[in-house]
């Protein structure tokens, strides 16, 4: 399992898709900050207590971050079949369930 995690980490480091996912995560933080600057009756949301809980959780936690994580995970799993590396992995005695679990762990890290 440790070898599979190391191999997946090495493969994902070379992908440009990772930078897109990082950019999307940073943009979520920027959007949350900008939505905190909205003005309601002369009071900015960012100046009130608990603004982060009221603004960030609905925007980032429920809508964007799960989509980014699912997109990255499905890309990593489907890429094996698109690039025909799954056939090479079947020649080597690699457990496909452990390979999928390693991909999920790398995605969540």
Q: Please report which confidence band the pLDDT of residue 1 belongs to, taking 50, 70 and 90 as the band edges.
A: confident
- What are the tens digits of pLDDT across the range 22-33? 887 788 778 777
Q: How high is the pLDDT of residue 23?
A: 86
Average per-residue pLDDT for the chain: 77
Q: How many domains does the chain have?
A: 1
Percent of the chain residues topping a pLDDT of 90: 0
Is 0.95 topped by the overall pTM? no
Measure the CA–CA gap between 73 and 4, rounded to whole angstroms: 15
- What are the tens digits of pLDDT across the range 27-62? 877 877 777 777 777 777 777 777 777 777 777 677
3-state helix, strand, coil in the chain (%, to 5): 80, 5, 15
- Domain of 6 in residue numbering reads as 2-108
């Amino acid at each position: 399992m440790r070898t599979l995690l190391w191999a997946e980490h090495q493969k994902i480091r070379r992908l440009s898709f990772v930078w897109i996912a990082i950019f999307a995560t940073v943009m979520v933080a920027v959007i949350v900050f900008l939505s905190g600057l909205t003005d309601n009756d002369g009071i900015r949301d960012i100046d009130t207590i608990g603004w982060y809980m009221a603004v960030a959780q609905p925007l980032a936690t429920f809508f964007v971050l799960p989509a980014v994580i699912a997109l990255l995970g499905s890309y990593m799993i489907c890429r094996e079949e698109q690039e025909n590396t799954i056939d090479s992995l079947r020649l080597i005695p690699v457990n496909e369930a452990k390979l999928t679990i390693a991909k999920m762990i790398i995605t969540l890290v």
